[in-house]
Chains A and B, each alone.
Chain A
């Protein structure tokens, strides 16, 4: 029964995404422009060092890492905080609470279909272009499978954090500010702005303890390093899985506690 509801929510969100094909195309163009800027910028930056490798990262690694981080952002970011804030302010949240399925499941399956569709339409083409530009620098092997698992887990972590922060909107009546704060902290500490490999060691140690790196750094590491041992790979995926469980439980608990403060003016 549950599964049927999940499947139809997923299907609905894929259809919704496909309604806005032009928007997906512009997202893809946005990725390409970002790629051009990042390519030129880091080419110029790497021109200032002699051997071409800094902290174990070559120019190609940095390119793959940053461009695919941004491409990953475009398919993962569903603006859930934004949407939850708006439905709390407009009172539409009441209708969502009446659904015969828990709100976090309703939200999760309502976005994940769009994420999958965006992955196919924007991420895969960007991936191919990066592979061509770097002349096949992304290793293609078992690590691609690991990447897919890690990206799925990353998406779930991202969802849980979004849901947690979206719940804060019940208390603050602020959406824009909360959303931008979340976005900045997540992107920076996950290594999507500057790769974690370039961080000073102390800051990197802190970042590795936080869940954010599991959203971008873990999946992307599978794409830049092909020769990770089985043990290391499973350890990274295991860490992600723990974060998924912890954060999802936390988000669920926080929502249960906060549900009763919902006030809707008229409607």
Chain B
């Protein structure tokens, strides 16, 4: 327990420094927030335009699809805000700067990840929340303590999956030089998380459930609120599976880091 408090204290200190240094580029911060909001707005507009022409997608209505989208945006916020440094990992490894993380008496993964708090993810969170609330009221879903509590648990477990995928994708740079395309390709999968996995044939449904588990980012966990009359067993398993998957990705990352031998400089 004291260890946890120790790490939380360090985390706070590192984050404050990071935010201070980012504040010196204020225009960059504002432009980046606008950029993220525009991205989300274009996605929403795409939904709107599609549903002007078509009544439903595989039995899913406009508002249900919006619910999935809002849910996925919130579930992806922790990845955007807290784990963004994974994008820089390959540069650190390639240039040899990664060695500095190896000389600290704290967990390498923790120290590396905590160094960057990405403020622009906050805009995405509010768009997601707004979309989710809008869809929730339009669908006239019940609001009570249990549904909110289930939603929070579902969101937390959903957020673990994409973080795990990105951890593994980033860790490939310990084994391959110039592996930027791996993380680039894997990050595109988050764009597919907003669709119900039922649109896919069985084969791809299995892949998106067990191998690249993007179906857990929005589809399975949001069924708890969206279709409470028939919740599949996978929905209930998603917190356990999320923790398991995150643990695996952590191990892969740490294994890569332990193989790191520096560049000699």
On A, residues with C-beta under 8 Å from B are 20, 22-23, 26-27, 29-30, 33-34, 36-37, 40-41, 43-49, 54-55, 172-181, 184-185, 187-188, 193-194, 198-200, 203
Contacts and interface: CB of A to CB of B under 8 A. Distances in A.
Contact of A198 (B34, B39, B52, B180): B52
B165 to A, nearest CB: 13
B200 interface: yes
Interface in B9-52: 25, 27-28, 30-36, 38-39, 42, 45-46, 49-50, 52
Contacts of B33: 177
Given A172-B27, A174-B28, A194-B49, A48 B54 contact: yes
14 contacts: A20-B178, A36-B204, A37-B192, A40-B204, A48-B56, A172-B28, A174-B31, A175-B28, A181-B31, A181-B34, A181-B38, A184-B35, A188-B46, A198-B50
Nearest to A178: B31
B54 A43 contact: no
Interface string B189-204: 1001001000111001
Given A48-B54, A198-B52, A198-B53, 10 more contacts: A22-B181, A23-B178, A40-B201, A40-B204, A44-B199, A45-B54, A55-B53, A172-B27, A176-B35, A184-B38
Nearest to B201: A40
Contacts of B30: 177
Contacts of A34: 188
Contacts of A54: 53-54
Nearest to A179: B35
Contacts of A180: 32, 35-36, 38-39
A88 B103 CA distance: 33
Nearest to A185: B38
B29 to A, nearest CB: 8
A63 to B, nearest CB: 14
A185 B46 CA distance: 12
A13 to B, nearest CB: 17
B58 interface: yes
B178 to A, nearest CB: 7
B185 A177 contact: no
Q: How big is chain B's contact interface, by range?
A: 35 or more
Contacts of A44: 57-58, 199
B182 interface: yes
A177 B32 contact: yes
Of listed B54, B56, B201, residue having the most chain A CB within 10 A: B54
B55 interface: yes
Chain B contact surface mostly: helix
Contact of A30 (B32, B178, B188): B188
Contacts of B25: 173-174
Contacts of B36: 180
Contacts of A187: 42
Contacts of B201: 40
B127 to A, nearest CB: 13
Of listed A40, A46, A175, residue having the most chain B CB within 10 A: A40
A172 B30 CA distance: 10
Interface in B215-249: none
Given A176-B32, A177-B32, A27 B181 contact: yes
B31 A45 contact: no
B81 to A, nearest CB: 15
Nearest to A26: B181
B42 A45 contact: no
Given A34-B188, A40-B201, A178 B50 contact: no
A40 B42 contact: no
Given A26-B185, A173-B25, A180-B38, A40 B200 contact: yes
Contacts of A46: 54
Given A34-B188, A40-B204, A49 B54 contact: yes
A174 B49 contact: no
Interface string B81-114: 0000000000000000000000000000000000
B196 to A, nearest CB: 8
Given A41-B199, A177-B28, A177-B31, A48 B57 contact: yes
Given A172-B27, A184-B39, A199-B49, A37 B195 contact: yes
A173 B52 contact: no
A244 B38 CA distance: 26
Contacts of B38: 180-181, 184-185
B182 A26 contact: yes
Interface string B147-186: 0000000000000000000000000000000101110010
B106 to A, nearest CB: 29
A125 to B, nearest CB: 16
